[in-house]
Each structure stands twice: as structure tokens, then as C-alpha cells.
Amino acid sequence: MMEGKTQFIFQRMDQWEVRLCLLCNRVEKLLWGHNLFVVASRLGDGIIWYVMIGAIALMEQNHGIQSAGHMIAVGALSTLVYKLLKKKLVRQRPYITWDQIRLGTAPLDLYSFPSGPPLHAVAFTVVATAYYPYLSWILVPFTALVAMSRVVLGLHYPTDVLVGAIIGALLAYGSFYWIAVS
């Protein structure tokens, strides 16, 4: 019963969001747009966060190990939440549902809701900038680019990205609350 309701809700949302997806997907057809957003998307799939965590742990010594551990814990929790939701809330990717939407790069998995790269990007950015505010000038724009890339490349609907970002923010801010009460 719940699965049928979820599918009905997603179908209604898809019809509303397809215009915005088509508009964003036009950028993917431009060579510079395709290249920029593919690179941002791939880096946002994890590699940039792993490199950042390793660099912080190596360069910042004790404080770096604490903050890197915090990012690893938030990343692991984010992955768990993401996988549980993705398994339960089955939403087809826009390029599958709409023939007019061009796929710009290979998807990481089958379904689109919620979007994992923005979830992780927001979570890591919140934690990293709480420890190192000077990183915000690079991480905030990069996180926005990762989020936009998912719609531009035909992989996600805007609500997939928005919900992923909200979940990432809640998990990251919640982790600071958990630390404070521990």
C-alpha cells in the first residue's frame, strides 16, 4: 500500500519537475557545460571528500584526526541513511522516464531519490567548515556545483537533490548536537 502511494506521489512530482529538468539539461548539451558538470559530479561522488579527509588528518595533527573522524562518522551515517531510503523510495531517474532528457554520465545506481552526492557534499561541507571556516570559500561553491550537476546531467530531479541536501544538513548538524550531549 505504501509503495503504491509513494509511486503516485513521485509520478505527480515528476510531471511538475520535468520542465525544470529539461531546462537544466540544455546546459549538458554544451561542451563546457558537459565537461564542467561531469567533473563536478565525479569528484562529488566521493574522491574529493576522501582526499580532503586524508589531507586534514595529515596536516592538522590531533585536531585534524578528530575532525577527520567526525567527517568519516557523518559520511558512514549518511551512506547508511541514503541506502535505506533509496531502497525503500523507488523513483526512476529523469532520463529513464523522459526520452527528451539526455543522460550526461553513468549513474551510480538505479534510482534517483534521494540524491547521494549532494547529501554527502552538504554533510561533509557542514562538518568541515565548522572545524575550518576558511574552507567555506571553496567547499560551498563546489557543493552547489555537485548539486546542480545531478540535475544538469539528467540523473536527478530537483527534489531528489533538495531532499538529499536537507538530509545531509540534518545529519551533519545532528552530529554536533550528539557530540555536545555525549
| Digitized pLDDT (tens) for each residue of the chain, 182 residues in all | 456 677 777 677 677 888 888 877 888 888 888 899 999 999 988 889 999 998 888 887 778 888 898 999 999 999 999 999 988 888 889 998 888 999 988 888 888 899 999 999 999 999 999 999 999 999 999 999 999 999 999 999 999 999 999 999 999 999 988 876 66
- Helix, strand or coil, per DSSP, at residue 31: helix
> How many C-alpha atoms does 15 have within 13 Å on its Cβ side?
5
Euclidean distance between CA atoms 49 and 156, whole angstroms: 21
- Helix, strand or coil, per DSSP, at residue 115: coil
* CA 34 to each of CA 49, 70, 107: distance values in angstroms, whole numbers, following the listed order: 22, 34, 15
Alpha helices of 29-92 — where are they, by DSSP H? Answer: 31-42, 48-59, 61-88
Look at the alpha carbons of 80, 120, 160, 97 in this order and tell me if their dihedral is positive or negative: negative
Euclidean distance between CA atoms 33 and 37, whole angstroms: 6
Euclidean distance between CA atoms 173 and 22, whole angstroms: 33
Residue 26: CB atoms within 10 A of its CB come to 11
Q: What does the pLDDT read at residue 182?
A: 60
Say if CB 153 and CB 45 are below 8 A apart. no
DSSP secondary structure, 145-180, as one string: HHHHHHHHTTS--HHHHHHHHHHHHHHHHHHHHHHH
> How many C-alpha atoms does 110 have within 13 Å on its Cβ side?
8
Q: What does the pLDDT read at residue 57?
A: 87
Euclidean distance between CA atoms 115 and 47, whole angstroms: 17
Q: What is the pTM of this model?
A: 0.88
